[in-house]
Chains A and B, each alone.
Chain A
């Protein structure tokens, strides 16, 4: 029987990817760094890669009886609460909330410090059995560097990024871990035992359907966790932004109608051959 796992998923929140985003210069609400226009009004979701990590955590924990999943999330409390209404229906977890900015312009270094300090304080967490999960990137900062620093701060030097699969080997013989590398390939490694850090790519699990029972069970711990959430001290040095802007304007699209497929194909082949 494999040893039960303690899986901590670091998952930030990001603006609903369907929203139109526009940068805003430092202002009263975000004095030290750029932000998004109407940042606090944009509907938020759990970062999509972190969400994959959470679904994988739930899946793995269901396979190893006695395991437990925590979701550690750093974001403005009110926004976290909003996001939990959706995500809490997807997988069982205990929330550990940190009240702080969810901006992509916040330094990963500072986010990692806040996450590591919080994880160290989780009551009952056995660091010897810890698998630290998260997304290998985020849809806000897109850095892919936070988890490594959280790992270092917690002294974990078995780390994997771009993970698409983890499989427990029979009879407690460790885990086979598959990471994405260049050219559509995977690197497969064997991890003999926890603790380890796994930054998830998309994995292969479909998004679980909303389950009202899971939601109701989670909610018993979510509201107290939000009430307990401590404000993260996120000040300290970070990057200086020389410019922050939206990409150049739209292209002038030539729309070709009523051209026979043969002719379209000829045009495309000619274009493909151009240098």
Chain B
């Protein structure tokens, strides 16, 4: 049986984030000898899971506060070596996705990202992950060790239990010299913040919003106001089809708060939300994979043959999205 290291980075306050707790519960479910390895400026000992049999290792200090490849890789490498684990579970955050494949190489092991499932297969750990942009699902195992697996956020229930770790072993790491300086985080202005990973609803806007409407004119400003109000009132996260976000690069009438960051499907994200509502989307399989992980889906479209919705949504409303959204905003006011 594999010995497991759950490798996590702490948040600014030294606690573990939700993705880390998800990786922890996945590891606990798998069973076996477990080590918790932490990287961050500080570790809030009292907030850590109280798991008596779990060894806790940490690399801390100011140089490890902010995500940078060189320092994070050095810390992760040291923790992996110190733990001696053969299977390493690390949340698939942007911070770990940046460094852990490189760390796997340093350790002579392998890394697999975007795991959506983890279970024993013939007694050995096997992961589920998607290939070809969420179009083919595979279950795979590996003989090579150490094996670093990064589960996607939202695939496992976060660990819940008593907190207060008994003891933290500090692992000393000399910060490597690096030519990278962490500068800042840039977030959109509050009224332009439309990506809400924890929202219950994903609202997907398609290029239809910026096309000629029944009166032969484009109503991009109306569309923008309607969608913006809806997002404010529903606190939904906003996704856009590739054709809509691409329009922003072509200088056409677009929604001012829509950027490439909002894109789902194709080269965009495949977010996880319990519900999804798509509007004015015209598309095909590569676009539709953008809501592969949305549990309940509804669509509003004027085209009854819309490939995005037929067979992909639970309910398709054949209606003018402008009118429906207007009513939605009235009801949600």
Contact = CB atoms under 8 A, between A and B. Distances in A.
Contacts of A158: 69-70, 178-180
A63 interface: no
Interface stretch (A74-82, A145-153, A213-221): A145-153
B139 A48 contact: no
A196 to B, nearest CB: 8
Contacts, number: 276
Contacts of B70: 157-158
Interface string A176-203: 1011111111111111110010000111
Contact of B136 (A52, A239, A244, A257): A244
B209 to A, nearest CB: 16
Given A144-B113, A244-B138, A259-B319, A153 B105 contact: yes
Given A182-B197, A185-B187, A190-B183, A261 B323 contact: yes
Nearest to B183: A188
B234 interface: yes
A188 B317 CA distance: 42
B285 interface: yes
Given A152-B106, A204-B260, A183 B328 contact: no
B14 to A, nearest CB: 18
Contacts of A151: 102
A109 B105 contact: yes
A170 interface: no
Contacts of B180: 158, 160, 189-192, 196
Contacts of B134: 142, 247
A205 B110 CA distance: 34
A159 B182 contact: no
Q: Which of B97, B106, B323 has most A Cβ within 10 Å? A: B97
B228 to A, nearest CB: 15
Contacts of B130: 142
Interface string B272-309: 00010100000011100000100011101000100001
Contacts of B313: 251, 253
A272 B97 contact: no
Contacts of A36: 132
Interface string B163-194: 00000000000001011111111111000011
B327 to A, nearest CB: 3
Interface of A is mostly: mixed
A144 B102 CA distance: 11
A262 interface: yes
B315 A254 contact: yes
Interface of B: 67-70, 73, 93-95, 97-102, 104-106, 110-114, 121, 126, 129-144, 176, 178-188, 193-197, 200-201, 234, 246, 249-250, 260-263, 266-268, 275, 277, 284-286, 292, 296-298, 300, 304, 309-320, 323-324, 326-328, 330-332
Interface of A: 14-15, 17-18, 20-21, 23, 34, 36, 48-49, 52, 104-105, 107-109, 112, 139-146, 148-149, 151-153, 157-162, 164, 174, 176, 178-193, 196, 201-206, 237-247, 250-259, 261-262, 264-266, 268-269, 271-272
Given A202-B267, A242-B121, A253-B312, 19 more contacts: A23-B138, A142-B114, A144-B113, A159-B69, A182-B93, A187-B185, A189-B68, A192-B180, A206-B249, A242-B141, A247-B292, A251-B311, A252-B314, A253-B309, A254-B314, A256-B316, A261-B327, A264-B317, A268-B298
17 contacts: A15-B132, A17-B266, A18-B284, A36-B132, A48-B267, A144-B113, A144-B114, A145-B111, A184-B194, A202-B267, A241-B138, A250-B312, A254-B315, A265-B330, A266-B327, A271-B296, A271-B298
